Chains A and B, each alone.
Chain A
Amino acid sequence: MSREILIVDGLRKFFVTSRGTVRAVDRVSFSVRAGETLGLVGESGSGKSTVAYTVIGLHAPTSGRIVFDGHDMSTSIWKRPRALKRAIQIVFQDPGTSLNPRRTVQQILELPLRVHRVGTPRERRDRSIELLRKVELPEDYLYKAPHMLGGGERQMVAIARALATDPRLILLDEPTSALDVSIQAKIIHMLLRFQREMDLAYLFITHDLSLMRNVATRVAIMYLGRICETAPTEEFFRNPLHPYTQMLLSSIPVVSKEEEAIRPARIISKGEIPSPVHVPPGCGFHTRCMVCATACSAEEPVMVEVEDGHFVSCLHFPPASDALPRAAESEEVF
């Protein structure tokens, strides 16, 4: 198993507003290993993007630790060493707004190189052409403005920009959710190829579990600012344990009988995600849970390892030595 290059430990990010404190991320811990893809999955308002923005340094954490390659980066972005900033890059969801409309593709691709003082102007230009070639765009795209490109092409420019500084970790914040499936397929193939060729680690933020089934090494599910379940992909889809994970999986519209068979059946989705200003006491999911017990609204669940690498945060899985038999038993309840 390769070493962990990103460790997030007890991360909290609260936003103080006039209507109360938004607990966007509350005690989130996970790690990303070199060369792997961690899929961070959740619905809108779950805090998944806030996690990415805090890791990249757009937000300073309220508390908790972010460690990249042995260096603590929990302080403000201004104190973060430039070499570390260079090693972590991000691709945003909407390439229509994440690319400056008044710059050419060349200027967009050269900016990170200029910021990190890489090469001479001549070398930077050559590097831009090389980056375009990497994402399979023709060289004359250097002189185009973002509005002249299609949605898929813009996202490829955004990916090329993220690759410019030879990063080791890329945060992908829903990079394909605004695109058609045929373009998504193309971009995903490219991302997987870059990962192999450059030994990149991805923190892949998405709401699409079917996509993660095919892309992620491990999957973590977020709900209301917390991670409620995490496991290696195979294990995660074979044996989803958290009631929220099961509700999520059973809500996915699928296209074949084979998919229907592995989707947990008969779990009827109810309720809506509560406001992160008024987080319910106890387990955050208890207001929508179909197996909610009285203790769930009072007691906070803790992360329990039920199987090798498979963690779940649910009171139905108590932190005891008999966690394994309990897990098997509870499966019938759900």
Chain B
Amino acid sequence: MGEPVLRIDDLHVSFRVYEGTLQVLDGVALRVDRGQRVGLVGEAGCGKTTTMRCVLRILQSPPGRITAGAIRYRGKDLLRASQGELQRIRGSGISMIFQDPVAALNPVFTVGDQLSAVIRHGTHRRLTRGEIRRRALAALREVQLPDPDRLFASYPVQLSGGMRQRVCIAMALATEPEVMIADEPTTALDVTIQAQVLRLLDRLVQEHETAVIFITHSLGVVREMADWVYVMYAGTIVEGAETDELFERPLHPYTLGLLSALPKLTGGGIAEGIPGRIPDYLHPPSGCRFSPRCPSAVAACHRDRPVWMQVRRDPDHAVACHLYPKGEA
């Protein structure tokens, strides 16, 4: 497999607030290989976006603070990189698409202005105005937006939600990054528009051989878009597996709970869901963070942190759970 293009090890993040310290991320670890499509799935408030903000080093600090861990992009530790190095990596090395295409685009500049700025800053070589415009139009055409010339001079408010998200995708891919982080890219869109945007993203990342991290709360989207899925709960990664493997043989009780709570097209009702609520980050539970809600918790779960363990029968599956002590599943 070789060196992963992005690797996060044992990342700890806390937020100082009036009441004390929120221990938000507790040892997050994941890897993304060259051209791989990785899904990071979890419910609201589990730390998906915080993790990705750390990667781009756009975590607001204070109150946020990275207390331990390493994030390596092509072997370079981003937590020790200078501002100049980070500036070069952002956009041209790692780019990001945000959930809300309304907030991600500046309403007082045209689409063309914003796209040109990305291309100008993200390219090492000096480009002429004509060259920038030509590349911007090509990027708009690539995301299948009609009439790129007219769109170049349009303001974001003149576009629909689906079109705006396409513009954001064009911006994120215009500089040929190696890794693209897509933070809930289709959550704000209708299901038929979501299908269009996902199909487009899928085609583009394959053509450009871009590695993608899909952050989403939707298990369905992740199954359709990712080669590998990590499941996140309360600031920890609880399970990770090759996509088909995860959906056919989920192991962690949280993953199982999520899957059963999801309404299926085949019917058969919905399970009661997972009892309780996401823990208080001020006083996170000791041991496994899921243990207070876990239907199969044993004494060890409340006492010790589970270790990340490869499942013995399958190298493409790992889980952090006391129910599978030696990777037996």
Residue of A nearest to B192 (CB): A269
Contact A180 B264 (CB under 8 A): no
Contact B265 A252 (CB under 8 A): yes
Judged by a CB distance under 8 angstroms, whether A114 is at the interface is no
* Given A181-B43, A269-B196, CB of A214 within 8 Å of CB of B160: no
How many B residues are at the interface, by size bracket? Answer: 35 or more
Judged by a CB distance under 8 angstroms, whether A131 is at the interface is no
Please choose the segment from B53-61, B88-96, B219-227 that sits at the chain A interface, where 4 or more of its residues have CB less than 8 A away.
B219-227
Contacts of A249 in B (CB 8 A): 265
Which positions 261-309 of chain B face chain A at CB distance < 8 Å? 261-274, 277
Pick from B192, B217, B224, B259: contact of A180, CB below 8 A. B217
Pick from B199, B258, B269: contact of A182, CB below 8 A. B258
Contacts of A270 in B (CB 8 A): 196
Contact B264 A207 (CB under 8 A): no
Q: 1/0 per residue A197-210: CB within 8 Å of B? A: 00000000001111
Judged by a CB distance under 8 angstroms, whether A239 is at the interface is no
Contact B190 A210 (CB under 8 A): no
Pick from A237, A247, A268, A272: contact of B265, CB below 8 A. A237
Contact B195 A269 (CB under 8 A): yes
Provide the bound-state CA to CA distance between A273 and B162, in Å.
11
Q: How many residues of A contact B (CB 8 A)?
A: 42
Pick from B192, B195, B265, B274: contact of A259, CB below 8 A. B265
Q: Name the distance in Å between B285's Cβ and chain A's nearest Cβ.
A: 17
Judged by a CB distance under 8 angstroms, whether A262 is at the interface is yes
Judged by a CB distance under 8 angstroms, whether A2 is at the interface is no
Residue of B nearest to A260 (CB): B265
Which positions 183-209 of chain B face chain A at CB distance < 8 Å? 190-196, 198-199
Judged by a CB distance under 8 angstroms, whether A58 is at the interface is no
Provide the bound-state CA to CA distance between A253 and B44, in Å.
19
Q: 1/0 per residue B218-243: CB within 8 Å of A? A: 11110110000000000000000000
Contact A213 B266 (CB under 8 A): yes
Judged by a CB distance under 8 angstroms, whether A256 is at the interface is yes
Judged by a CB distance under 8 angstroms, whether B247 is at the interface is yes
Judged by a CB distance under 8 angstroms, whether B257 is at the interface is yes
Judged by a CB distance under 8 angstroms, whether A254 is at the interface is yes
Contact A258 B217 (CB under 8 A): no
Provide the bound-state CA to CA distance between A259 and B268, in Å.
12
Pick from A150, A188, A252, A269: contact of B193, CB below 8 A. A269
* Given A181-B43, A181-B262, CB of A252 within 8 Å of CB of B190: no
Provide the bound-state CA to CA distance between A325 and B140, in Å.
46
Judged by a CB distance under 8 angstroms, whether A44 is at the interface is yes
Judged by a CB distance under 8 angstroms, whether A263 is at the interface is yes
Provide the bound-state CA to CA distance between A186 and B192, in Å.
27
Q: Name the distance in Å between A127's Cβ and chain B's nearest Cβ.
A: 27
Contact B270 A255 (CB under 8 A): no
Q: Name the distance in Å between B250's Cβ and chain A's nearest Cβ.
A: 10
Contacts of B198 in A (CB 8 A): 253
Of A180, A183, A233, the most chain B CB neighbours within 10 A belong to A180
Q: Identify the 6 closest CB pairs spanning chains A and B, nearest first.
A: A253-B220, A185-B273, A251-B195, A185-B261, A43-B190, A180-B43
